[in-house]
Amino acid sequence: MHADMSSQQLKHPLLKLNAEGYIETALQIASPNFDARPDDCGINMIVIHNISLPPNKYAGSGVAQLFTNTLNPAEHPYYAEVYMHKVSSHFFIRRTGELVQFVSTLQRAWHAGVSQWQGRERCNDFSIGIELEGSDFEAFEAAQYKMLNNLIELLKKTYSIQHIVGHSDIAPGRKTDPGPYFNWQHVNLK
């Protein structure tokens, strides 16, 4: 991160989640890659990821295309490897701090894959996925931490969030994100 996170930087406009599980001020891009959460499953976890498409390139439309099944495999060699994957996340925070929402928080987004936390498998069932535009090789931006904390604050007020983890925590050995440059000290875990 390029700047220290002061209390002044953490002040923000209020995010609001509507009854349908959408933040109306977020850019809405509907992903078809979701399904219903199990009836007996409450939301109690936030999973933080990083993503960039093409790898280590920012500000393009690759992530949205991946999450909406419209990624062109001929556009980049890496796209040919991943374009068939049916994945999504609830939220995506661009390097500018812009918030994009792909799936209602009431639905199960397909972000965690094979996963387990404290003996409980299928973390997609009970979690909300937040993707940060970034990689394992570069620091995240102050604007991203600001939006991430705003979003966490809102989700904690709405759901019984007990755990905030990285993808690597629920899929060790398989996933490395949010990566070594993600600074957990800048995240409001309380």
Cβ 153 vs Cβ 36: under 8 Å:
no
Can you tell me the distance from the alpha carbon of 22 to that of 34, in angstroms, rounded to the nearest whole number? Answer: 14
DSSP secondary structure, 125-173, as one string: GGEEEEEEE--TTSPPPHHHHHHHHHHHHHHHHHS---EEEEHHHHSTT
Can you tell me the distance from the alpha carbon of 9 to that of 3, in angstroms, rounded to the nearest whole number? Answer: 10
The DSSP secondary-structure symbol of 23 reads B
| Rounded CA Rg of the chain | 16
Q: Is 126 exposed, middle or buried (0-12, 13-18, 19+ CB in 10 A)?
A: buried
Selecting among 98, 131, 133, 153, the annotated active-site residue is 131
Residue 131 annotated in active site: yes
- Nearest alpha carbon to residue 141 among 182, 91, 100: 182
Pairing of strands 27-28, 34-36: unpaired
φ, ψ at 120 (rounded to 5°): -100, 125
> Looking at the annotation, which residues are catalytic?
131
